[in-house]
Amino acid sequence: MQQNICIIDDDPICVFGIKKLLKETNLFDTISTHANGLEAIQDFQKSIDKNKSLPSIIFLDINMPIMDGWEFLEEFRKISFKNREHVRIYIVSSSVDPRDLLKAKSIIEVDDYFIKPITNKAIQKAIENVNL
């Protein structure tokens, strides 16, 4: 089974960093990136239409233009449960605002909250949780 990973972040440096760490694991076939939530949702919709499965892991930033992380989560929930059942979502944000952490905890689709910079350990933890 093909394992996809998806990074949704508007900061190219961040994306670059996560990609570097993921490549070292050699576990994933494809790493897709999106600069905001809207791009990602539109891409997911296309995949579902083509009967392709969604990524197993999503690294999601919160602060993004056009559609931010929270809005993305709202849209994501509208996808039928069957299609998103196996998707793990990890928030990766530089926000240390306790209000953001609380909000993330209250959303069941979110599996964990990592504060930037994301570490090797965090990546390992995220991968272990996925049934590979």
- 78 near other proteins (CB under 8 A): no
Those residues whose C-beta lies under 8 Å from the C-beta of residue 129, and which sit 6 or more positions away, are 88, 111
* 1, 2, 20, 50: which one binds other proteins (CB under 8 A): 20
Select 53 or 63, whichever has its Cβ closest to other proteins: 63
Report, in Å, the least distance between residue 31 CB and other proteins: 17
Work out which of 14, 41, 91, 104 binds other proteins, going by CB under 8 A.
Answer: 14
Report in angstroms how near the CB of residue 104 gets to other proteins at its nearest: 14
Inter-CA distances, 83 with 25, 30, 49, 80, 100, Å: 26, 19, 11, 6, 27
Whether 130 contacts 93, CB under 8 Å: no
Compare residues 87 and 113 and give the one whose CB is closer to other proteins: 113
* Element spanning 72, H or E: helix 69-77
CA distance 70 to 131: 26
The token duo for 84 is 């998103």
Sorted by sequence, the CB contacts under 8 Å of residue 28 that are 6+ apart come out as: 3, 4, 5, 22
Complex with other proteins: residue 68 or 111, whichever CB lies closer = 68
Q: Show contacts with other proteins in window 106-125 (CB under 8 A).
A: 116-117
Q: Which is nearer to other proteins, 11 or 112 (CB)?
A: 11
Closest approach of Cβ 111 to other proteins, in Å?
21
Can you give the binding site for other proteins, defined by CB under 8 A? 10-14, 16-17, 20, 63-65, 68, 94-97, 116-117
